Structure 1
């Protein structure tokens, strides 16, 4: 399902919703999209019941997530979805929604352009045009570009950004076409920045512990500098002792007790004791009793539970609810 194109998903969804509802939806789509979806529908002979259910579930989740973002922003949406779907699925839904929103927004070509090339081209544009484009760009990239302008232009552009409230879609479309034609020779249409240490860390934080260890051991021999950099940014279950007590307690509130008991099987006493120190005495006593009756557990099951807890920690870190110390990052000032 993850590899299925958006057009095919849309076609399956419309088939699942029935002819009357689908016709009403298609009426509101652009002509080009209607043609693509209609062609896909015509080439689907049978909808697997499992695919149908998955598509409908994903559509409902995305619709709810979009509404949560409108109601309270991304952090609010993530918090609600965490409770409803679990940390991992919530992250997947938010990531999909973010990508969809980015594709839907105007000036997509500008968001992909190299910041310095973009700055050189925008220097010759009117301040109101620059302001409009920056409004639709990633904040960090917009900040980098704005800082390259002369001070008097920075102020004028900033003022226009702060006072823009509404802009006609036709005006946006007209400017976008001009900008796309102007930028087309500067943007690397065939390549995008991918990979790197951060991407590797994100992947390793999602694989099993055994795979993670094997890759890092191999990197020690092949590329020791890369291995060191990855370790400096990689959060493992054992690193839970580096969290503040309040942060550990936030994590424990979102962790299933069965996963916690499995995750603690075979870990060092200092790790187990640190986690227990952030639980009530009654909860600790109950867990210790339950663990005595658990019996042996498969290593893969233990590692899977540990990875689930690491996933919760990473989700809370990404939403800014807890803080992970990584590598040479600055200390937090309270």
Structure 2
């Protein structure tokens, strides 16, 4: 795990490289440390790097290794330390990689980076990856009670959305409900029988589409580890 001094060293070492090379290196770092390095770049270059990350297509391990081998020898010591702290990835998804970094970045920088992406679809893909249905467990109980459970999408779709979910995620909703509401959801869930995966995904998407604006507006906080 890098300390702040190591983040500065990584920045100093990779800053002369091209945005594409920097983007590749950052995707191989632990997300919160990659975020610390990314925000050190001047705004314009930072946004270009973020764009490169967001548009990085999924690559297999052989492709990644080939690209890393092309990086200058001067980076090797830095890369060795990065790779020793990161499990090898089978693939890279740019939107997910950038989302993980932005989850540890200040709100102002996040909005600036998202606005700098070249099209709405890219920004939407990153936003969606920044908060998934599993991340509901990171919302504090008071916010769940006050905001989340009152959303129309939760009232209408929760029984379907929690089908097949881990117990911790189901309990995040159910443990914050009144007994009456909990019984209603449980009865509905048990009466559903087998539900198609695409129906479950759509139910979760409808809920996430209402939760994300609450997070973006600051009404609901996500406590990242």
Q: TM-score, normalised by structure 2?
A: 0.46
Question: Whose Rg is larger?
Answer: 1
Q: TM-score, normalised by structure 1?
A: 0.32
User: Which is bigger in relative contact order (C-alpha 8 A, separation at least 6)?
Assistant: 2
